[in-house]
């Protein structure tokens, strides 16, 4: 798409204003001329080429247009007979450049709002701007409109007419027809008429729809009076506010394009989505909200940056009451639709308007996103994220993963609820599930080399932080090496339990022989582990088995304080009772003395309490330790039984994921 701007004329009705430069260089706002505004709007809308016809003060105009430094390829075509011809002849002079593209045609003295140009550009057919609300002008252009299409354009038509402005979007075929007629006119000497006289001879064959812009600013400046009116209208536009919210942590050309378009509508306020809101629906932000704010504050023309604390715009819209909200059209469907619906509802409550632009789907932007995800998977960027999540959210959830596939499920499962989104924050690498997946008992039989292999499989396909179930931690002399290895791999936390000897799963409780470690010995293990780690990011969590082994609350608390004193970064308290009261009591008593050390819970048995309630009580990490594995086993057993029962696979098909889906479940990179 090319733009053609007609700027050859003398602008004689402007008096002294056009004494030293062409009319298009008349200032309409501080530092803004008719031409600079037109070109800026075109560039912001993504138009890359403009042909400008010149005549009067040709050199001044060319120098000025180039000095604007806009991302537009400018071509100037001089009409040497500009004094005695009309712009029909200027178009004729430029005809060679205008053959093979759709065209945006405008007079050089036209001032319009960004949203007018946006509608013109989006028009599926050729179109011309008209207004159904403006009175018919005595001397200016009017369009005769029938069935929504422009039949004739001129100053002499009053019947079936609407006020019209010379701003056209012309499809290549339609424009060619008009251009051919223009050539016929010029070659037969009719160069003193409007180009529209040639259009009128086509009797509607140029298929130009009438695009009603109603009261939006779209006006020619012919004299000082017009100039005063347009300047006033632009001031009003500048007083409008525009709101646009971003979750991105890098700014690319697509974002800048939206920002430039939004700025055309008024003073731009940018909402930066909080870290918590970003990580709820997308991924953990690589750059925190405080930094992202600075990034946007430093973009020219951004008047203010505010934080948006949730995916819902409601709070900020009611506070800021912007005249416009600008967004890409990608949110018309999918999980963002309820958010969009709410924006429309809130805007309607005070008379605001939603403006949507086509969403940039450039493959290079997709590539940037993929690279960012890849960065998040790297050990050094992954390790510290658990601490950051704890600081950011107060309560973090972790779901069990025991191989690449379950890792992907934990990574990618998102539930959209009440205009928000929820996903797991982290992954739990359970000893029970890692052993069970190998058909082995949970007794520290699966050795560290194998457990590290599982970590690697999961890490290869995910980005979320990992909490590793370190069982007893083994011998202190071995534990220090485990800490170093886990830390190097990018694991965020290891949890070790205060048991010794042959470890059995805690959920057996006292049904099997299990020995609790002494406080002194376990403290020594914690101290050695803390000393071994290299970064400040890695966390060692001490898990207390006193309630599991029925040693009482006092013992549990004594241990908790001793282990924290020894350097544990977090405390896990476990129970196998359905009733959560002993856990609640522990949290309450621990928090009386220690308000900061994170408390970790594995509510497999005491599963009735919601995450929100745990948070209120003072817990910080909730681990769902085995639910994915427990969901899978009965499902595969049922499929196996069905095949054995029916001697074929047909009956079990209904319980299965379709074959077509399983082969596409894992996308190729
Ligand atoms: C695990 O998931 O392996 C655990 C938690 O250690 S529990 O099974 O409850 O002991
Ligand atoms: Mg375990």
- For residue 415, what pLDDT is reported? 93
Nearest CA to ligand 1 atom 2: 430
| Per-residue model confidence (pLDDT) at position 663 | 84
pLDDT at site 16: 76
Whole-number Å distance, alpha carbon 283 to ligand 1 midpoint, is: 27
- pLDDT for 15 equals 74
639 Cα distance to chain centroid: 41
Pocket lining for ligand 1, CB < 6 angstroms: 430-432, 442, 469, 505-507, 602, 604, 625-626
- Output the domain CATH number for residue 306: 3.40.50.620
Q: Are residues 44 and 23 in the same domain?
A: yes
Tens digit of pLDDT for each residue in 120-141?
998 999 999 999 999 999 888 9
> Where among 337, 364, 391 does a domain terminate?
364
Q: Are 426 and 500 part of one and the same domain?
A: yes
Per the domain annotation, does 372 fall within a domain? no
User: Cβ distance 45 to 115 under 8 Å?
Assistant: no
Task: Find the helix or strand (DSSP H, E) in which 256 lies.
Answer: helix 253-263
Distance (Å) from CA 432 to ligand 1 centroid? 6
Q: Are residues 77 and 176 in the same domain?
A: yes
- Which atom of ligand 1 is least distant from the CA of 428? 2
Q: Minimum-distance ligand to the CA of 624? A: 1
Q: What are phi and psi of 96, to 5 degrees?
A: -60, -30
Structural domain for 346, as ranges:
240-364
> Where is the domain boundary, 220, 236, 252?
236
* Residue 488: inside a domain: yes
**Helix (H, G, I), strand (E, B), or coil: what is residue 666?**
coil
Tokens of 12: 């004689």
Neighbours of 329 (CB within 10 A): 11
In the numeric block, the tokens 């029970």 are attached to 432
Residues 6+ apart with CB under 8 A from 491: 383, 429, 455, 466, 467, 468, 538
For ligand 1, the distance from its centroid to the CA atom of residue 506, given in whole angstroms, is: 7
Q: Are residues 441 and 416 in the same domain?
A: yes
Residue 509 is classified by DSSP as G
Q: Which atom of ligand 1 is nearest to the CA of 602?
A: 9
Ligand 1 atom with the shortest distance to the CA of 497: 6
Number of domains in the chain: 4
Q: Which residue's alpha carbon is at the smallest distance from atom 10 of ligand 1?
A: 506
Mutate to test the pocket of ligand 1, among 604, 605, 623, 630 (most ligand atoms within 8 A of CB): 604
- Based on the domain organization, do 188 and 54 belong to the same domain? yes
**pTM for this entry:** 0.74
- What pLDDT does residue 360 have? 67
**Distance from residue 269's CA to the centre of ligand 2 (Å):** 50
Give the model confidence (pLDDT) of 484-501 as tens digits: 999 999 999 999 999 998
Q: Which two tokens stand for residue 37?
A: 């505004």
Tell me, what's the pLDDT at 333?
85
Last residue of a domain, which of 185, 203, 236?
Answer: 236
Residues in the chain with pLDDT < 70? 360, 669
Confidence (pLDDT) at 638: 97
> What is the torsional sign of CA 629, 634, 640, 643?
negative
Question: What pLDDT shows up at residue 541?
Answer: 98
The pair of three-digit structure tokens given for residue 456, joined into one six-digit string: 């690697």
Same domain, 226 and 245: no
């Amino acid at each position: 798409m090319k733009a053609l701007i007609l700027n050859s004329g003398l602008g004689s009705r402007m008096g002294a204003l056009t004494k030293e430069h062409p009319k298009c260089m008349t200032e309409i706002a501080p530092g803004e001329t008719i031409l600079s505004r037109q070109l800026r709007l075109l560039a912001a809308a993504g138009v890359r080429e403009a042909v400008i016809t010149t005549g009067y003060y040709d050199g001044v105009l060319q120098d000025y247009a180039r000095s604007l430094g806009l991302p537009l390829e400018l071509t100037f075509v001089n009409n040497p007979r500009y004094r005695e011809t009309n712009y029909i002849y200027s178009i004729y002079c430029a005809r060679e450049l205008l053959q093979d593209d759709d065209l945006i045609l405008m007079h050089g003295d036209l001032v319009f709002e960004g949203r007018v140009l946006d509608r013109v550009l989006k028009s599926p057919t050729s179109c011309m701007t008209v207004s159904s609300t403006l009175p018919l002008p005595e001397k200016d252009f009017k369009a005769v409109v029938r069935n929504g299409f422009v039949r004739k354009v001129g100053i002499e038509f009053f019947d079936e007419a609407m006020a019209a402005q010379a701003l056209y979007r012309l499809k290549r075929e339609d424009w060619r027809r008009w251009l051919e007629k223009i050539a016929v006119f010029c070659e037969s000497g009719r160069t003193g008429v409007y180009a529209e006289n040639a259009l009128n001879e086509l009797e509607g064959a140029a298929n130009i729809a009438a695009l009603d812009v109603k009261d939006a600013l779209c006006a020619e400046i012919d004299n000082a009076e017009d100039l005063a009116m347009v300047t006033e209208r632009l001031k009003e536009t500048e007083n409008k506010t525009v709101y646009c919210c971003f979750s991105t942590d890098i700014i690319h050309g697509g974002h800048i394009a939206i920002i430039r378009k939004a700025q055309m509508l008024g003073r731009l306020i940018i909402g930066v989505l909080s870290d918590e809101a970003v990580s709820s629906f997308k991924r953990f932000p690589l750059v925190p909200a405080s930094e992202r704010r600075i990034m946007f504050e430093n973009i020219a023309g951004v008047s203010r940056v505010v934080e948006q604390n949730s995916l819902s715009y409601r709070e900020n819209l009611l506070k800021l009451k912007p005249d416009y909200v600008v967004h890409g059209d990608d949110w018309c469907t999918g999980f963002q639709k309820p958010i969009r619906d709410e924006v429309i509802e809130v805007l309607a409550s005070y008379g605001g308007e939603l403006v949507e632009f086509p969403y940039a789907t450039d493959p290079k932007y997709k590539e940037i996103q993929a690279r960012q995800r890849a960065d998040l998977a790297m050990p050094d960027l992954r390790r510290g994220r658990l601490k950051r999540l704890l600081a950011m959210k107060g309560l973090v959830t972790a779901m069990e993963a025991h191989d690449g596939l379950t890792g992907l499920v934990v990574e990618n499962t998102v539930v959209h609820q009440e205009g928000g989104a929820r996903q797991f924050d982290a992954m739990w690498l359970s000893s029970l599930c890692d052993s069970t997946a190998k058909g082995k008992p949970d007794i520290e039989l699966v050795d560290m080399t194998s457990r590290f292999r599982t970590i690697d499989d999961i890490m290869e396909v995910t980005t979320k932080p990992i909490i590793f179930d370190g069982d007893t931690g083994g011998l202190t002399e071995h534990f220090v090496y485990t800490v170093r290895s886990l830390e190097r791999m990018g694991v965020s936390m290891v949890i070790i339990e205060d048991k010794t000897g042959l470890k059995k799963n805690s959920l057996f409780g006292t049904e099997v022989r299990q020995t609790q470690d002494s406080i002194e010995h376990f403290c020594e293990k914690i101290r050695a582990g803390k000393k071994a780690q290299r970064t400040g990011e890695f966390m060692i969590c001490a898990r207390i088995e006193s309630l599991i082994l029925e040693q009482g609350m006092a013992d549990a608390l004594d241990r908790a304080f001793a282990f924290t004193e020894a350097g544990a970064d977090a405390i896990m308290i476990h129970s196998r009772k359905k009733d959560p009261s002993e856990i609640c009591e522990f949290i309450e008593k621990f928090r009386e003395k220690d308000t900061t050390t994170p408390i970790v819970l594995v509510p497999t048995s005491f599963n009735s309490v919601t995450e929100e309630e745990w948070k209120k009580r003072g817990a910080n990490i909730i681990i769902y330790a085995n639910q994915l594995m427990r969901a899978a086993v009965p499902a595969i057993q049922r499929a196996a039984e069905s095949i054995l029962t029916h001697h074929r696979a047909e009956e079990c098909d209904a319980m299965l994921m379709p074959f077509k889906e399983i082969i596409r479940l894992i996308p190729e990179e």
